[in-house]
Amino acid sequence: MGDYALLYILFAPFFGALALIFVSNRQALLVRGIAAGSAFISLMASLYLFYSYDPVRGGFQFIQRFEWSRQLGISLYLGVDGIGTPLVLASSILLFAGIFVSWHIKDRAKEFYIWILILAAATIGVFMSLDLFFLYFFYEMSVIPMYLLLGMWGSHTKKYLEMTDPEGVKQRDSVGFIFNFGSNSKEYAAMKLVLFLSAFAVAAFMGILLIYKYSGLNTFDILVLREHANLMNIPVLGTTLDKIIWVLIFFGFASIAPLWPLHSWSPVGHAAAPAATSMLHAGVLMKLGHFSIIRVAYEILPETTRELMPMAAVLCMFSIVYGGFVAYYAKDTKYVIGYSSSSHMGYVFLGMAALDYISLSGAIIYMFAHAMATGMLFSMAGWVYDQTHTRDIPSLGGLSNKMPFISACFVVGCMASIGMPGTINFIAEVMIIVGSWNKYPLQVIVAVLGIVLTMAYLFKMMRSLFYGPMDQKYSHSHDAVAFVDRLPLLIMISVSVGFGLFPMHLYNVVRSGVDPLIAKITHVVPVAALPAPETTATVLHEQLAARGAQLPDSRVAQ
């Protein structure tokens, strides 16, 4: 596989989607086999990439470059550092798991798998793009599959069934209903997602074009722009161009994160989406915002990032608290998990805002950890819905008698989301809290209270779904018994617990990407660049000698 690992990871889903075009929906097993096979190739290549990445060497590795337009300075430029590598792995894991979560889909299964593969490939493309044009291209590509997956295979919420006009005639299929922002149809969720993401993506694209125009370098190459772009001293509208660009980039990409108050499209999208789409939505699509901010704003505008990033530390508190309280009072399983995801993304912004080695490393690891935990919860919420045909929490209960395996996995998923020791979420949360304390103690206190709130609403949902008396109309429900039904949950649990018990390679990979980035922003020498402890005395002795200091060796050693 070698140097071409990125091409295998990126194009295996695309070629799988292309192959499915020529297969009939009547060949159900072949359709599933092609989808699973292409996802498996991407997963194996991602594992190879993750364990072959050299954290000691650091930087961008496995680079591939194909010139697209010399005149415009555009190339399909692919490469991963310690930040992109774990997110590529998370995308591939959730794609492979999502194929099996959707194994029993019968309505236009071929088309469903085509769009799932394209969605996952688009997110992977963002995580490995080193060209601003293609980063934005893949970012926008992810919106199209989401719209179709929600609008065609999604489901309506309880309120949707109650929507009527004054004459009592259902208005579910009218254009007016789609744009009725008080409704809860799958069409509404799909349209709101597109409107939000497209509008703010245009703002981010304006920032990218301003970088391209005023850098004077005639290139979209991120590595060139971060070394040579100088946008600091250009006055515009009473401020400087770098601040305008930074605000466009930050809020343009923060909408997909989603940062309060730009979050309202996300829980609605979670509620309407099929299980596999919700997994990719919460697991990796939301991380495109954080990653793109890091890749563009942090890399190219480090000085402005240090100056303006505190605004994220303020907004993240609202994300944590608001999302947590709405999740506590929500009565729809997917709304609870959806608002929980919005709340947890506030922790990532807190880790990013602190601009500390530990906090930013924790934020990157938390993105990976959250992908596994929320993937578990959404897949199991989908299973419960398939068996009971409802997501109304108060009407459910006692399902552990019928679903012992699902209920046990649900407990593990809740423990991971809370951040119990033994899961990778615990390590990430501790790093964010410890790394952010010195700079943002108030936000850290809010974040800790948010963890308590997370425990409250997840335990409340778990108790209401699986324990207590069960309505006999759900007695036909059954557990996940088949191998294809249990496999995705076992994969995500193994990854969450496995990295929780053995986190060092993941930590080393992430730190290799975070250290030089934070050093550039804060002008502080990273820990990795300092001499080893056993050589510190020798180095200090040489420095003192060079300055003419006369100290005994014992004092130097001290």
Question: What pLDDT digit, counting tens, does each position of 350-362 carry?
Answer: 998 888 889 999 9
The predicted-structure confidence for 251-278, as pLDDT tens digits, reads as follows 888 888 888 787 777 777 667 777 788 8
Q: Which two tokens stand for residue 226?
A: 């971060």
Least confident of 365-369, 437-441, 472-476, 506-510: 472-476
**Angle between helices 28-52 and 109-128 in degrees, nearest 10:** 10
Residue 163 pLDDT more than 60? no
The pLDDT tens digits for 270-316 are 677 777 888 888 888 888 889 999 998 888 888 888 888 888 888 88
Which among 81, 50, 104, 58 has a CA at the least distance from the CA of 385?
Answer: 104
What does the pLDDT average to over 104-120?
Answer: 87
More confident residue, 57 or 2: 57
User: Average per-residue pLDDT in the chain?
Assistant: 81
DSSP H or E segment with residue 240: strand 239-240
Confidence of residue 501 (pLDDT cuts 50, 70, 90): very high
DSSP for residue 473: G
Alpha-carbon distance of 320 to 342, in angstroms, equals 7
Q: Considering only CA atoms, which of 340, 196, 181, 321 is closest in space to residue 255?
A: 196
b/e 436-446 (16+ beta carbons within 10 angstroms → b): bbebbeebbeb
**Cα–Cα–Cα angle for 240, 243, 248, nearest 5°?**
130
8 A C-beta contact, residue 118 and residue 141:
yes
Strand stretches in 268-417, DSSP E? none
What's the confidence (pLDDT) of residue 235?
A: 61
Domain boundary assignment for the chain: 531-558
> If DSSP states are collapsed to H, E and C, what string results for 242-296?
HHHHHHHHHHHHHCCCCCCCCCCHHHHHHHHCCHHHHHHHHHHHCHHHHHHHHHH
pLDDT at 525 over 90: no
Residue 504 pLDDT greater than 70, yes or no? yes
Residue 75 neighbours by CB under 8 Å, 6+ apart: 65, 66, 67, 68, 131, 134, 220, 221
**Which tokens belong to 194?**
């597109």
**Would the pLDDT of 192 be above 90?**
no
Q: In the prediction, which pLDDT does 545 show?
A: 46
- Residue pLDDT, tens place only, 423-482: 999 999 999 999 888 888 998 998 889 888 988 888 888 888 888 887 777 778 788 788
* pTM for the full predicted model: 0.84
∠ at Cα 39 (369, 483), nearest 5°?
80
pLDDT category at 15 given cuts 50, 70, 90 is: very high
Confidence of residue 157 (pLDDT cuts 50, 70, 90): low
Segment 59-99, tens digit of pLDDT:
888 988 888 888 888 888 999 999 999 999 999 999 999 89
pLDDT average, residue stretch 4-19: 91
Taking every pair of Cα atoms in the chain, the longest distance, rounded to a whole number of angstroms, is 96
354, 436 contact by CB (below 8 A) = yes
